[in-house]
Amino acid sequence: MSHPANGFQSNLPRRHRSGQAWLLLFQAATLIGILGLTALMLNILNSNFGYVVYVDKVNPQTLAVDGVPLENLPSDTLASIFRENVSNGLFTRYDREIPLTDRSQSSIYELILDFVIVPEVKQQWSLWESLTRRAQIQSIAATDYPEGYLVFESWVDYDFIKSPQSSFVEIAGVRTAILGSLWTIGIAILFAFPVGVGAAIYLQEYAADNWLNRVIRTNINNLAGVPSIIYGILGLAIFVRALEPLTSGAIFSGSAEATASGRTILSAGLTLALLVLPLIIINAQEAIKAVPNSLRNASYGLGATRWQTIWNHVLPGALPGILTGTILAISRAIGETAPLVVIGASTFIQADPSGPFSKFTTLPIQIFQWTSRPQEVFRNLAAAASLVLLALLLTMNATAILLRNRYGNRN
Amino acid sequence: MAIATESPPTDATGQYAIETNSLSVYYNEFQAVRDVNLSIETRRITAIIGPSGCGKSTVLRAFNRMNDLVPGSSTQGEVFFAGQNIYEPDVDPVEVRRRIGMVFQKANPFPKSIYDNVAWGARINGFRGDMDQLVEDSLRNAALWEEVKDKLDQSGLSLSGGQQQRLCIARAIAVRPDIILMDEPASALDPIATLRIEELMRDLAQQYTIIIVTHNMQQAARVSDFTAFFSLAEDGSRAGMLMEYGLTQKMFTNPEHKITEEYITGRFG
Ligand SMILES: Nc1ncnc2c1ncn2[C@@H]1O[C@H](COP(=O)(O)OP(=O)(O)OP(=O)(O)O)[C@@H](O)[C@H]1O
Ligand SMILES: [Mg+2]
């Protein structure tokens, strides 16, 4: 190409080179991000699967009757085996919960498995070890635990999801935590969504542009950056302490059945609602701002009132953005641990939450507790619970995205 | 609501649809329009012309209180419509805007069906009659019916630019206004679509008072009965002022002021 003489220098190769360099940088950045995420997933998977050596306290073969294996025995035989092999106290407890005569064969079999046979984890290996050192693991298991048996275990399974918390690794599950998470998130969104969207509508469509409203707007942005533990302290002061009669449910039931303490699902949900409120307000504000003014003018020009304009044109246009903000809020709230620890999530709880006034635990708190146990084997439970948490998060986000696509792009 | 509900003619002589008295509009401290005294004839087309930034759109928006929606704007003076100063505190701007409709420079249909685009304004204003008929009449009046009658449930955004603008006109006349304000309604359209809109305006002028802002001198000459020429004040304040107002024919053949002639003939502006 000829080179123009009027003061321009040929710099095209250099411009292309610098463009290439930037491109490389961006590719590297993307790669680092992908590597980080892959490492995270691999780490979770690594602790989720692998060989486990179990040793039974009682060999199930010794419990067989007349050569019929334990799992095929009828209910009443199983019931008497259970009675004979556990302490009186334990038997009475379970018999009182649901009388053994009313229980199904399989549920009695499970009781025997959990309290009589009691398979105990003696040693466990990660997925990586299980795949690479299989022969070695098998020989260790055979020599060190001659009476034990080696199983390739998936720590997360249906039992794990449906069982309540337990101090026995083998039967511990996350049912209570999942329900607790769902309850708290539900309450948080129930409060934060209408309040947040309402505030955003006011700030964008009604509030005059004066210094007071500017201060409010700036401060909402700042609130979004406040560390979550501070919201925990706030929640403790307001919901757990000051509003205890309300959050413990005492003023509704009047009965002493309520926990008589404000450390309930309601307090947790409201604390999370405060935490995500700025997020919802900011995103809704941005979404409302993005609705073109020409649409508002068209509406006003026809003799629409402000509210008719907002309801018929601004909100439908802003809905996809508002729902995106809500997705972000859910993602944030579902992983919060610190504020819930502060307001007093239960450390050990087996009963399903029955309503907003129940004590609670949530998945991240359960994970936190399991990782802080000294025994190595609880790490596997934590990894399994992490997987459940991620699955829950993805399901909720997918639902929100579906909603957004369904109602957002109607036009 | 203090505006008389009967249709114009409204003032004593029955001649004027809108009369302004010392109308000034400010954006914060900046005076965009100064001391405009203008009487718009009923059922005629009045064109507003003038160089960019001289306040044509501002004046137009002052006629139906759309300027109220611009943060920091304020209006002084009086604008009489139906015998009433629409800037009196007891006048509801919502009612003013229903009686004085507006078509914007850039076509802005709602992201709704063609039918709903036309029906919505009537619906919110409490129309209780035969909606299908109203939609058809409005689209016919806007010379769009034949093109869209088979796809009324399609999005208004699926139409071409010229069709969208006619849809906006149909939408404006569906609420049965007395006056239609048009701010450069054809500036984004090709010559054929522009001609269609101009023909449409001539038709509409039999029923409505039309005020149109345009940068196109031929258009003003072709379509309007009266022309108002605005220009910036000569004292350097950049305030827009009404320089000359009268019959279009006279203004385009024998303008009173030199500056008008210069603008019309394209030597300035
Ligand atoms: N929303 C606003 N805020 C502040 N100033 C404005 C606003 N709208 C218009 N102005 C100012 O008011 C003056 C007149 O503007 P206006 O839009 O009425 O001009 P115009 O004659 O319609 O111009 P054009 O022919 O380019 O459309 C301009 O100086 C403009 O900068
Ligand atoms: Mg303009």
Q: What is the pLDDT of residues B44-83, one digit of tens each?
A: 999 999 999 999 999 999 999 999 999 889 999 999 998 8
Tokens 């069906």, located at residue: B113
Chain A residues with beta carbon closer than 8 angstroms to that of B171: 298, 302
- Whether residue B75 contacts residue B62, with contact meaning beta carbons closer than 8 Å, is answered with yes
Q: Measuring from atom 29 of ligand 1, which residue has the nearest CA? A: B53
| Domains in chain A: ranges and CATH | 48-154 (no CATH), 175-410 (1.10.3720.10)
3-state DSSP assignment of residue A309: helix
Instruction: Give me chain B's average pLDDT, please.
Output: 90
Decide whether any atom of ligand 1 lies within 6 Å of the B54 Cβ.
yes
- Whether residue A175 contacts residue A352, with contact meaning beta carbons closer than 8 Å, is answered with yes
Chain A within 8 Å of B127 (Cβ-Cβ)?
no
User: What pLDDT does residue B170 have?
Assistant: 94
- Supply A172's token pair: 């511990």
Distance B57 CA to ligand 2 centre (A): 4
Distance of alpha carbon A74 from alpha carbon A90, whole angstroms? 21
- Supply A146's token pair: 């001659």
- Burial string for B85-103 (b: 16+ CB within 10 Å, else e) reads ebbeeebebbbbbbbbbbb
pLDDT digits (tens, 9 = 90+) for B103-137: 998 999 999 999 999 999 999 999 999 999 999 99
Distance of alpha carbon B253 from alpha carbon B258, whole angstroms? 12
User: What pLDDT does residue A286 have?
Assistant: 94
The CA radius of gyration of chain B, in Å to the nearest whole number, is 18
User: What pLDDT does residue A110 have?
Assistant: 81
User: What pLDDT does residue B14 have?
Assistant: 58
Decide whether any atom of ligand 1 lies within 6 Å of the B53 Cβ.
yes
Phi, psi of B203 (to 5 degrees): -65, -45
Q: Which of B120, B169, B182 to mutate to test the interface with A (most CBs of A within 10 A)?
A: B120
pLDDT, averaged in runs of 10, over chain A (411 residues): 70 92 97 96 90 86 82 85 86 84 83 82 89 90 87 87 82 89 94 96 89 89 91 92 83 58 89 95 95 95 95 93 90 91 83 84 91 86 92 87 72 43
Tokens 């998470």, located at residue: A181
What is the number of the ligand 1 atom nearest to the C-alpha of B30?
5
- What residues contact A60, with CB distance under 8 A and at least 6 apart? A69, A70, A117
Distance A79 CA to ligand 2 centre (A): 89
User: What pLDDT does residue B3 have?
Assistant: 56
Burial status of residue B121 (CB atoms within 10 A of its CB: 0-12, 13-18, 19 or more): buried
* CATH 3.40.50.12780 holds for B18-264: no
Give mean pLDDT, residues B20-46. 94
Residue bearing the bigger pLDDT, A201 or B3: A201
Distance of alpha carbon A402 from alpha carbon A394, whole angstroms? 12
Beta bridge partners of B18: B40, B81
- Supply A345's token pair: 């999530």
User: What pLDDT does residue A108 have?
Assistant: 85
Phi, psi of B16 (to 5 degrees): -105, 135
Per-domain boundaries in chain B: 18-264
Distance of alpha carbon A204 from alpha carbon A289, whole angstroms? 7
pTM of the model: 0.83
- Whether residue A162 contacts residue A175, with contact meaning beta carbons closer than 8 Å, is answered with yes
Task: Give the percent of chain B with pLDDT over 90.
Answer: 74
Tokens 């083998």, located at residue: A170
pLDDT digits (tens, 9 = 90+) for A267-308: 999 999 999 999 999 999 999 999 999 999 999 999 999 999
Residue B213 has pLDDT above 70, yes or no: yes
The closest CB to that of A303, out of B97, B110, B112, belongs to B97
Give mean pLDDT, residues B29-35. 94
User: What pLDDT does residue B238 have?
Assistant: 87
User: What pLDDT does residue A86 have?
Assistant: 84
Phi, psi of B38 (to 5 degrees): -145, 135
Give mean pLDDT, residues B154-182. 93
Tokens 């993805």, located at residue: A394
3-state DSSP assignment of residue B19: strand
User: What pLDDT does residue B8 have?
Assistant: 42
Distance of alpha carbon A359 from alpha carbon A334, whole angstroms? 17
User: What pLDDT does residue A345 have?
Assistant: 82
Distance of alpha carbon B198 from alpha carbon B193, whole angstroms? 9
User: What pLDDT does residue A254 have?
Assistant: 56
User: What pLDDT does residue B5 have?
Assistant: 47
